[in-house]
Structure 1
């Protein structure tokens, strides 16, 4: 909270002054009662004027403190989200994907919001919970130390009950939060997987996981209630105004009978001291707010603790000379000390040439594609783009060299026009249309009711898979970057869409350095070179005919593809 600490302290000071003004109102009313008792025929205008002024002042101070604390909370929320966004932009993109979008979204939205609630709402509670009892005690001591001691006894008894109610609450609250999150995850999983659920288990297994999570949540709540319910209710009873009033009434009556207390002082004590213990009621709320804030703070710190990628100084950053790509003795593993996904991989892709990456599943092909734009950093060796080490290039410089088309295309919920010119906001509508024509997307876009202004829908759900892919290719054509990485861009396309995609990709690849991750080997027969990977190693390298003649891994993959191409489904015979 350091960035807004000054604002928070100001809000707390204003709230404390507001609490003092509230007590000043009660003191002024007590003064008015004493004057009425002493001079029944005179209306106590000065005391009433002080009471009215103090009431207005208390209201104004509380309102101002409320505004200050909320402004501080909004400022903190903005700064936290900005810092988190900037930090996420500096950590490896692969690590972001590993963390998962749901977990990061919870930190960015829910946990930061929890900090907002804590800062905005805790300020007046702190003033009420700590300033009011102290000022009330001071006033009571000034009026009569015996009555002040009796009221303090009720307060101490209430604090003891609160302590019992909060005993072990941190661990219980942690378990409560964890159980609640499991329920939320089970609900989200059930809703998102609805097509699979209805197809396979009609919801019995998936919904059963939700029921199990709900059962655990219920057990935690019941256990919490049984362990802390009695002291919590007891503390609420003790800290209500009635016990304090009863004690002050009984002791005050006894002192009056002994003629050891003036009736005016007694009435003032009843007016002021009745709410002394009650003003500690927010302590329980504060404890829960602190516990929630601590959970959120821990999650925020976990994200901020992820080591960002080191960046070179701006004045020493390297710049690529051309569109070539070179791997030099590259080792890579996704986890420190984990299994190596790539081992001693070395190859060169000259500028303007078409290179295909093939191999069995898990061989490391997609990993190579992700290492080029530095989604991850290598464990050993280096990757050079245009002769420059990618670790010595500024991110903007590197990303201006590389464009991607993945098999899983992503569109934002905005218009198709905005989706195509993503990263090129200055592009004119005419330039967007030319890119869409080259990507074989213009005709189907114009057939839509709103044309290029048609919303794509969340994640592009208003379009088919092939249409989404062609919009993605149009975006990439518009960016016109010298290096193009294709990760099985036609994997899920039907024959009609695949033909359109092949035309779009052929236009996109003109004059570019192309690295294509391919499973359909027929699409890369004419590649300038084919790199064959197996278990993270580069085992073969050459052109199609040469690799077939070697009768190695590539030849086996080709033969398997040929057999799959001639596979047909036949009716069984009895």
Structure 2
């Protein structure tokens, strides 16, 4: 990962020196550090634009004074006002241009940095936590930050500079009317502060209820087939209705708490009350002879500047809070520990596998998923992992390519601990064919090429032929150039499986892990999938996670796991003769094969 993209995503300052106790800094401003200079520049330019606009307004007051006194500098003040107004427009346009460019740059840095970091995070973490939350962070939260940097940061500069400069000009022109305008705003600010009491607590409750509504909507839509089959909608829609009731309750309470004072504050912070107060006070002073008309006109032109900028500044708090929440979620994603990498990567000598006293426990669970598991897989042999549900078969297989790291013991490939191998080299050595296969929204050819992007079309076609996929691919409208659809939706389960097998064949890894690769194949294509797997397994070291025992009778070795422990190992015949866990599993398998719906119904009639 580039240092710049890593800095953008980590979003906090921490010392790299040993023994440093510098605390990590979280939040939007820490995350924006790589583009902080253009962001600050945009804020300064926007503030300068606001100052120029106020200068243009002040120059208009001088135009009025020149008209009344027949001053020869009339046209100078007119041109100055026009020039400052043009400068204000140009500065604001340039400020938003700079902020938008910075926003796009930050977006690239964030997504690149997160992608590179996720490539080093244990795959097991992604499997356990799912892709939905990660996709939300990489899409919605990054988009929130983009919008904040592009559109909000210049407004912060404007909203800070305008009231300060306006107050200074008002005090310079006439301190009495400046205090009148300031008093109106102070009263409005007090009312708004009263309305915003307990705002953080109420905002948290509001966000929680809104998330509850979103979750209920998603559940209702995604579960629609089940709802329409088993439910009239009363239960599922009832949860949505309950979420709406909760949202209505918190909104009603919030409005009741801040209703009156909030309305008074909003009215007081509007330009009209300030203008009215300044007009009335100025009229009294003019009639008393202590204020001339040009200064009064200047006060009237500038007096609403503070009110017009303070209200947006208060609303900006919402956008800052929203962007800050997104920044923290991005930083939390970047805080997921990456797999430790060896400083001296070693190369495996062959394609053998060895589990030595392997123990492993999932995060948040006290019991071990695997306990002191020992077995060896010689190069070029087939080993099946079997056992009851929850025995640890998939866990053991997924420790080989380091979906997680073992808690104790070691897993060696070619005599080298997988933790001492370069992660890229490890993934090139071990190919994993899942039962839940995944295809990208890309062409069939590029899906097969995923493990070898530089493979020629001839190599792709040869891999597809070996995977029994060439014929159905050629029947597609564009052949190998046909789109697979999102998650391979345009293909059947058996077709998708053969594409993933072709991918593994093309990658040509010496070690292959098959996680019940025929699980989702339809009966018509199962024979083709089995033949494809046979081609994939030729000359390779193979680990098969087996649920259907008939598929692994001829395995060179069968490793039986039970409750995370090694229960038995041997060939099929040896394990049947020995009795025990495998023999019971095989007996259950044989009984299941002999069971039919018709036979069951007949037996039930006999019993009756």
**Structure 1 length normalisation: TM-score?**
0.96
* 1:14 and 2:45 matched: yes
Aligned partner of 1:33 in structure 2 is: 64
Aligned partner of 2:238 in structure 1 is: 208
Alignment gaps of 5+ in structure 1? none
1:243 to partner: Cα distance: 0.9
Local SS of the residue matching 2:597:
coil
Aligned partner of 1:136 in structure 2 is: 166
**Structure 2 CA distance for partners of 1:230 and 1:113, relative to 1, 3 Å:** farther
Local SS of the residue matching 1:500:
helix
Deviations 1:23-46 (A, max 9, x none): 011011100011111229x79211
Aligned partner of 1:98 in structure 2 is: 128
1:245-264 matches, within 5 Å, as 245-264=275-294
Match of 1:292 among 311, 316, 322: 322
* 1:331 and 2:365 matched: no
1:100-115 matches, within 5 Å, as 100-115=130-145
Aligned partner of 1:56 in structure 2 is: 86
1:391 to partner: Cα distance: 0.8
Aligned partner of 2:519 in structure 1 is: 491
Return the alpha-carbon distance in structure 1 between the equivalents of residues 154 and 520 of structure 2. 58
Return the alpha-carbon distance in structure 1 between the equivalents of residues 324 and 394 of structure 2. 39
1:349 to partner: Cα distance: 0.4
Match of 1:432 among 449, 460, 474: 460
Contact 1:357 1:533 in 2 (8 A): yes
Local SS of the residue matching 2:450:
coil
1:222 to partner: Cα distance: 2.9
1:132 to partner: Cα distance: 0.9
Return the alpha-carbon distance in structure 2 between the equivalents of residues 122 and 459 of structure 1. 37
1:160 to partner: Cα distance: 1.6
Return the alpha-carbon distance in structure 2 between the equivalents of residues 254 and 557 of structure 1. 100
Return the alpha-carbon distance in structure 1 between the equivalents of residues 87 and 547 of structure 2. 76
Aligned partner of 1:507 in structure 2 is: 535
Query: Does 198-207 or 532-541 show the bigger shift?
Result: 198-207
1:244 to partner: Cα distance: 0.9
Return the alpha-carbon distance in structure 1 between the equivalents of residues 250 and 170 of structure 2. 43
Return the alpha-carbon distance in structure 1 between the equivalents of residues 523 and 304 of structure 2. 82
Local SS of the residue matching 1:311:
coil
Local SS of the residue matching 1:421:
helix
1:190 to partner: Cα distance: 2.5
Deviations 1:453-509 (A, max 9, x none): 221111111111111111111111111100010011112323321111111111110
* 1:309 and 2:339 matched: yes
Deviations 1:202-244 (A, max 9, x none): 4333333233223323333333333233333222211111111
1:176 to partner: Cα distance: 2.3
Aligned partner of 1:71 in structure 2 is: 101
Return the alpha-carbon distance in structure 2 between the equivalents of residues 188 and 116 of structure 1. 26
Alignment gaps of 5+ in structure 2? 1-31
Query: Does 128-137 or 537-546 show the bigger shift?
Result: 128-137
Match of 1:125 among 129, 138, 155: 155
Return the alpha-carbon distance in structure 2 between the equivalents of residues 497 and 270 of structure 1. 83
Local SS of the residue matching 1:62:
helix
Local SS of the residue matching 2:306:
coil
1:21 to partner: Cα distance: 0.4
Aligned partner of 1:233 in structure 2 is: 263
Return the alpha-carbon distance in structure 1 between the equivalents of residues 526 and 594 of structure 2. 19
Query: Does 485-494 or 155-164 show the bigger shift?
Result: 155-164
Return the alpha-carbon distance in structure 2 between the equivalents of residues 10 and 531 of structure 1. 65
Return the alpha-carbon distance in structure 1 between the equivalents of residues 548 and 454 of structure 2. 37
Q: How many residues align?
A: 571
**Structure 2 CA distance for partners of 1:411 and 1:202, relative to 1, 3 Å:** farther
Aligned partner of 2:552 in structure 1 is: 524
Deviations 1:127-173 (A, max 9, x none): 23221111111111111111111111112122222322332222322
* 1:2 and 2:33 matched: yes
Return the alpha-carbon distance in structure 2 between the equivalents of residues 12 and 507 of structure 1. 63
Match of 1:370 among 398, 402, 409: 398
Query: Does 501-510 or 79-88 show the bigger shift?
Result: 79-88
Contact 1:173 1:291 in 2 (8 A): no
Deviations 1:70-116 (A, max 9, x none): 22222222222222222222221101222221111111111122222
Contact 2:451 2:504 in 1 (8 A): no
Contact 2:373 2:565 in 1 (8 A): yes
Aligned partner of 2:222 in structure 1 is: 192
Return the alpha-carbon distance in structure 1 between the equivalents of residues 497 and 395 of structure 2. 21
Contact 1:133 1:276 in 2 (8 A): yes
Return the alpha-carbon distance in structure 2 between the equivalents of residues 569 and 86 of structure 1. 52
**Structure 2 length normalisation: TM-score?**
0.91
CA RMSD of aligned residues (A): 1.6
Contact 1:161 1:234 in 2 (8 A): yes
Deviations 1:258-297 (A, max 9, x none): 2111111111111111332222111222110122122212
Return the alpha-carbon distance in structure 2 between the equivalents of residues 137 and 455 of structure 1. 63
Query: Does 167-176 or 127-136 show the bigger shift?
Result: 167-176
Contact 1:128 1:282 in 2 (8 A): no
Query: Does 397-406 or 271-280 show the bigger shift?
Result: 271-280
Return the alpha-carbon distance in structure 2 between the equivalents of residues 297 and 485 of structure 1. 38
Match of 2:310 among 280, 283, 291: 280
1:255 to partner: Cα distance: 1.1
Aligned partner of 1:455 in structure 2 is: 483
